[in-house]
Amino acid sequence: MNQDILQSIRAKMRAAAVPDATIDTFLGSVKKVAAGERGQIPESTITSVEELPALESLPAAGGKAAELLNQLAVIKLNGGLGTSMGL
């Protein structure tokens, strides 16, 4: 991957006050994708969830947890899009 592009990404993230550790992790992932890694998990290592707790039985998020939940983003790929992308 082009070092100029990586430095540009790093500069933009630093300007947005993203912590260095987060930037390093993100750029490490970018390099892996650029090198062709797919990040797939073998189906044989996946086990199904038999039972999930009801939302009402979970403790309320407070303090730092509530702050982090406000930053959460969920990306959901419906239909065949995930399959076609190798997920």
Kindly report, residue by residue over 69-84, the tens digit of the pLDDT.
888 888 777 767 666 6
Its pTM stands at 0.48
Could you tell me the two tokens for 75? 């990306």
Per 3-state DSSP, the chain is made up of helix, strand and coil in percentages (nearest 5) of 50, 0, 50
Kindly report, residue by residue over 22-58, the tens digit of the pLDDT.
999 999 999 998 898 877 778 888 888 899 999 899 8
DSSP assignment of 23-36 = HHHHHHHHHHHHTT
